[in-house]
Amino acid sequence: MTENIEKLSALHILVTNDDGVHAPGLLALTNAVKPFGSVSVLAPDHNWSASGHVKTLSRPLRVRETKLADGTPALTSDGAPSDCVALGVLGILRKKIDLVVSGINTNSNLGHDLTYSGTVTAAMEAAISGIPAVAFSLAEPRDTSEEKDYTLSQIVIREVVKNILDHGLPRGILLNVNIPYIDVEQFKGYQITRQGLRVYHDNLVRRKDPEGRPYYWIGGDPPSGIVEKGTDIGALAENYVSITPIHLDLTAHHLISTLRSWEWG
Ligand code: MN
C-alpha cells in the first residue's frame, strides 16, 4: 500500500483541452486528477473545438501564465491542443510527463468525430510521444447555458486513471472516454467499445457580406449516429460510459490483400 501511494504521488499529469483554458470542464478534470500526483495545466487560450490534429509550423507559439477559476496556476498557449501537448513534452514542463488527460470536452466525441476533435487529437499527440493519454468528453445537452454537473464525470475520471495506473497502457494507445450527461443514480456502468458510425447533418448556408460578396457557413443540426451494441454510440444511448481504445494506425487492413491482387503495371 505504501509503495502504491509513493507511486501515485510521484505521477506527473498534464491536463489540457480544446475548449480553452478557462472552460469549466478543464477545471473539473484538473480537480479529478489532483489526488493522483502533481498536475500541470497547459491548455489553449481560446476554443479549438473541431480543429483536428494540428502542428503549428508557420508561426511562433507563445506560452504565458494564468490561473484557473479556483486559483490553480496554469499555462496557456496560442497554439492548438496538440501543440500544447508537444510544448509540454518538448520541455516547457521540465518534469517528465507520465500521463496526459484532455477534456472534459463539452459534447461527446464519437465515431468519426475523432478525426475532427481537438480533445482527442491532444491525446493522440501524447500517444505519438509514447505517453499514456485519455480524452474525456461529456455528452452535454447543446442548448443550455446553465452550470454543468460534473459529479459523474469526476467519478469516471478517477476510475479510468486508477485503472491505467494499475494496468498501464501499451505504447501508442490512447483511451477515448465518453460520459453520458445523467445523474449518478441513472448510471449503468462502463462498456469497452469500438467506434460507431456518426451521421452528420451538415448543409451549406450561403449568404452575402455587406459588400455583396458571397460567404458560406457549414451549418446544420448536431450529428446523430447509428445506435449499435458494442459501439461508443450504443453505450451512451443506454446510459453507460464508453471507453474506446484508439491507436493511430488508420490502415484498412482488410483491403491490403485485395489491393495487392490488382494489376499494378
Ligand atoms: Mn471542444
The whole-number average pLDDT for the span 210-223 is 94
Please report, for the domain that includes residue 24, its CATH number.
3.40.1210.10
> Which DSSP string do the residues of 203-251 spell out, in sequence order?
EEEEEE-TTS-EEEEEEEEEEEE---TTBHHHHHHTTEEEEEEE-S---
What is the per-residue pLDDT for 144? 67
**5 pLDDT higher than 70:** no
For residue 146, what is its C-alpha cell?
Answer: 446553465
The whole-number average pLDDT for the span 240-256 is 97
Q: Where in the sequence is the domain holding 233, given as residue range(s)?
A: 2-196+226-260
Rounded distance from Cα 254 to ligand 1 centre (Å): 32
What is the per-residue pLDDT for 2? 42
Q: Is residue 215 part of a domain?
A: no
Q: Is residue 27 part of a domain?
A: yes
Rounded distance from Cα 209 to ligand 1 centre (Å): 28
Q: Is residue 6 part of a domain?
A: yes
> Is residue 4 very low, low, confident or very high in pLDDT (cuts 50, 70, 90)?
very low
Amino acid (1-letter code) at residue 208? K
Q: In sequence order, what are the beta bridge partners of 179?
A: 138
> Is residue 60 very low, low, confident or very high in pLDDT (cuts 50, 70, 90)?
very high
Position with higher pLDDT, 33 vs 144: 33
**73 pLDDT higher than 50:** yes
What is the per-residue pLDDT for 80? 98
What is the per-residue pLDDT for 6? 45
3-state secondary structure at position 18: coil
Rounded distance from Cα 101 to ligand 1 centre (Å): 14
What is the per-residue pLDDT for 159? 98
**105 pLDDT higher than 70:** yes
What is the distance, to the nearest Å, from the Cα of residue 148 to the centroid of all Cα atoms in its chain? 18
The whole-number average pLDDT for the span 235-263 is 97
Rounded distance from Cα 25 to ligand 1 centre (Å): 10
Q: In sequence order, what are the beta bridge partners of 174?
A: 133, 246
Rounded Cα distance between 14 and 11, Å, is 10
Rounded distance from Cα 98 to ligand 1 centre (Å): 23
Q: Is residue 213 part of a domain?
A: no
What is the per-residue pLDDT for 264? 96
What is the per-residue pLDDT for 10? 76
Q: In which element (H, E) is residue 176 found?
A: strand 174-180
- Of 38-52, 97-111, 130-144, the one with minimum mean pLDDT is 130-144
Q: Is residue 174 part of a domain?
A: yes
> Is residue 143 very low, low, confident or very high in pLDDT (cuts 50, 70, 90)?
low
- Of 141-145, 179-183, 255-259, the one with minimum mean pLDDT is 141-145
Q: Is residue 216 part of a domain?
A: no
Rounded distance from Cα 265 to ligand 1 centre (Å): 46
The whole-number average pLDDT for the span 191-220 is 95
Nearest Cα neighbor of 149 from 141, 161, 14, 118 is 141
**3 pLDDT higher than 50:** no
> Is residue 142 very low, low, confident or very high in pLDDT (cuts 50, 70, 90)?
confident
The two most distant CA atoms of the chain are separated, in Å, by: 70
Percent pLDDT > 70 in the chain is: 96
Q: Is residue 53 part of a domain?
A: yes
Query: Exposure pattern of 21-47 as b/e (b: 16+ CB <10 Å)?
Result: bbbebbbbbbbbbeebbebbbbbbbee
Q: Is residue 146 part of a domain?
A: yes
Rounded distance from Cα 47 to ligand 1 centre (Å): 7
- Counted domains in the chain: 1
The whole-number average pLDDT for the span 44-70 is 96
Q: What is the mean pLDDT of the chain?
A: 94
Q: What is the dihedral of CA 53, 58, 62, 63, to 10 degrees?
A: 30
**59 pLDDT higher than 70:** yes
What is the per-residue pLDDT for 1? 40
**262 pLDDT higher than 80:** yes
Q: Are 184 and 155 in contact (CB under 8 A)?
A: yes
